[in-house]
Structure 1
Amino acid sequence: MSAATRSKNIPPEPDDLQQQVIASRNRVSFGNFVYNAPLWLFFLVAGWLFILISILTDPIYSNIFNVLSEGIPMTLRVAASAYFMALMIGLFVGLVRSNKPTRLAPTATFGARLRNFLRLMLYHILTLYVELMRGLPILIVLLLTTFVIIPEIRDKFLEPLLGYEIISRGGSPEPAIIALGLTYGAFISETFRAGIQSIEKGQMEAAKSLGMTYFQSMRLVILPQAIRRVLPPLGNDVIAMIKDSSLVSVLGVQDVTQIARTSSGASFRYLETYLTVAFIYLTMTIIGSFIVKWVESYLKNQQIAATVTGEKRSGFMFWFNRQGRGPGGGR
């Protein structure tokens, strides 16, 4: 047997074997890092830092940022006002559409039949509204609201009723807020409807068995649980509203995008201007995302703490115990 053959049959030393195991683990760890690490986040942060450093060190970027920052309050005003309006519309529409009226028994009174018919008509009208808003582009809704619906209401209803001419100025954010609120209200209503319908029917039946009305059951039992379940999609709508608020620039509203259009057209510095615009919107959406996640985490911790202490702060059992009818109620 040759020396080379004998050397192949000799088992490796313990130190050599340990080094081979460590090298193999390092290769596996590096491969897992390459395939599992959020590399997109690295590029995103790198691009954000590049623009931030340019704003802090380059006079051109600094001047552009100072000009565009004048539109940030308008952008936030439009987004916040439209989102609040959308929440109110979405909650009302979601409540109505979560419980479709059914046919009453032949022995029902005329008043009950009339109320049920009116509820049915309201249900179908709101369903039509939802389908229209979900099927139309936001830009079309903006243009229709600003140049068709609001002028028609003003000319044919408000001015004859008030007895004087209403002068509207261009670039007003109110039509844009109404249009965005109507559009997002339709989508948010579906979110609320799904959240309400996800609650077990037994909770509503138990609440009614205690003598609670439909609205009391919704306010005290169903809605607190439904809102907690739909918080993530509602948070996503906040971010989407901030981005879609840039569409109001087509109406001449002096938000960040509109100021960027006029500024870049005058200076011809399109690259620097729109990179700064992207930086501003990205910063606002990232801050909004952190706020939404903080709210979700806070409510989750509150729910866990309430569960540990034996007090559930939302839903049927919390109301039941608060009325003194549950365990430890004192009645």
Structure 2
Amino acid sequence: MAPSPVRTSPFANVPWWLLAIALLFVLGLWAIAADAGYAQIFRSLAGGVITTLWVAFMAFAAAIALGLLVELARTSANRLLREVATFYVEIIRGIPVLVFLFYVAFVGAPWFVAGINVVLAPLLQLGWLEAVTIRDFDFVWRAILALTVCYSAFIAEIFRAGIQAVDRGQVEAARALGLSRWHCFRLVVAPQALRTILPPLANDFVSMIKDSALVSALGVQDITQLGKVYSSSTFKFFETYNVVAFLYLTMTISLSLLVRLLERHLGGKRQ
């Protein structure tokens, strides 16, 4: 008789750490659904999720665009552009995000508003426009600007690694065929570099979600700020920060799992 096939559990190949995370998620949902206190905290903080995601998405999209421009400047044939872009990357990467956040919010924003008023001075004198005040520059946009600049330096390095991963011979062959520098980048370098840079870009977005909590220092009504306000008014610090941690973990772990799937998908394509 042929030996009967060995039956394996459907969870046999599932990592234990993933099962532990799933258990924590279920326990968190159960606590929020079953406990009236946790449910009230969740309702109070739910609005901050939209603000957190809005700040993260806007800042990350702008950081990708700015980071690409910086990296194109670093690979430019013009030495001045290369030196300026490299100076930008090295300086920004050396400043803590929180420090830069304060600098943009309380130093850069007033300078920016003053510059706009100088440019619009003729129209202001004619009475056609009103002077821009610092109050017109919302703290949410100041936070988005600060995160954009900070992350653009790191994203520029990701783009550099992706571009350098493309075989130099392919670039030289494309140039020999008569392609311009721009067409060579768009048709040869970018499609291949994209597979290399997507996973680290996704990881940077996960980091952006976590670093967005720093905008609470400016009073932006994100998850962390709403948690601070609620806990200080009710003295339920333990319960409140449990919910804050649960919300951040739900977003970041979900994105991390998507990144792992993306890496496996791209890895399968390379084989």
Greater relative CO, 1 or 2 (CA 8 Å, sep 6+): 2
Name 2:222's counterpart in structure 1. Answer: 255
CA radius of gyration, larger in: 1
8 Å Cα contact 1:235-1:292 kept in structure 2: yes
Per-residue CA distance 1:146-201 (angstroms, 9 max, x = gap): 1001211211x101222332132586310101110111100010011011011111
CA separation of 1:48/1:171 partners in 2, compared to 1, >3 Å: closer, same or farther?
farther
Name 2:146's counterpart in structure 1. Answer: 179
Name 1:220's counterpart in structure 2. Answer: 187
**Structure 1 gap ranges (5+):** 1-32, 102-118, 308-331
Letter in 2 for 1:145: V
Instruction: Give the Å deviation of 1:37.
Output: 8.7
Q: How much identity, in percent, do the aligned residues show?
A: 42
Letter in 2 for 1:84: A
So what's the TM-score if we normalise by structure 1?
0.71
User: Matched residue of 1:173: which SS?
Assistant: helix
Instruction: Give the Å deviation of 1:227.
Output: 1.3
Instruction: Give the Å deviation of 1:121.
Output: 1.2
Per-residue CA distance 1:258-290 (angstroms, 9 max, x = gap): 100001100000011000011101111122223
Instruction: Give the Å deviation of 1:300.
Output: 5.5
8 Å Cα contact 1:171-1:252 kept in structure 2: no
Name 1:276's counterpart in structure 2. Answer: 243
State how far apart, in whole Å, the 1-side matches of 2:161 and 2:258 are: 24
Letter in 2 for 1:77: W
8 Å Cα contact 2:71-2:85 kept in structure 1: no
User: Matched residue of 1:253: which SS?
Assistant: coil
Name 2:7's counterpart in structure 1. Answer: none
2:50 maps to 1:91:
no
CA separation of 1:290/1:44 partners in 2, compared to 1, >3 Å: closer, same or farther?
closer
8 Å Cα contact 1:95-1:192 kept in structure 2: no
Name 1:207's counterpart in structure 2. Answer: 174
State how far apart, in whole Å, the 2-side matches of 1:171 and 1:247 are: 16
Of 232, 238, 256, which residue of structure 2 is paired with 1:289? 256
Stretch moving more, 57-66 or 160-169:
160-169
Name 1:104's counterpart in structure 2. Answer: none
User: Matched residue of 2:139: which SS?
Assistant: coil
The residue correspondences of 1:241-252 to structure 2 (distance < 5 A) are 241-252=208-219
CA separation of 1:254/1:171 partners in 2, compared to 1, >3 Å: closer, same or farther?
farther
Name 1:158's counterpart in structure 2. Answer: 116
Per-residue CA distance 1:103-134 (angstroms, 9 max, x = gap): xxxxxxxxxxxxxxxx2111111111111111
8 Å Cα contact 1:100-1:120 kept in structure 2: yes
Aligned-residue Cα RMSD (Å) equals 2.2
User: Matched residue of 2:166: which SS?
Assistant: coil
State how far apart, in whole Å, the 2-side matches of 1:170 and 1:185 are: 21
The residue correspondences of 1:96-111 to structure 2 (distance < 5 A) are 96-97=73-74, 99=75, 101=77
Instruction: Give the Å deviation of 1:253.
Output: 0.6
Name 1:123's counterpart in structure 2. Answer: 82
CA separation of 1:253/1:76 partners in 2, compared to 1, >3 Å: closer, same or farther?
same
State how far apart, in whole Å, the 2-side matches of 1:41 and 1:226 are: 31
Instruction: Give the Å deviation of 1:297.
Output: 4.8
**Structure 2 gap ranges (5+):** 1-11, 125-129
Name 2:201's counterpart in structure 1. Answer: 234
State how far apart, in whole Å, the 2-side matches of 1:54 and 1:192 are: 43
CA separation of 1:206/1:298 partners in 2, compared to 1, >3 Å: closer, same or farther?
same
User: Matched residue of 1:254: which SS?
Assistant: coil
8 Å Cα contact 2:109-2:137 kept in structure 1: no
Name 2:6's counterpart in structure 1. Answer: none
The aligned length equals: 251
2:25 maps to 1:48:
yes
Name 1:317's counterpart in structure 2. Answer: none
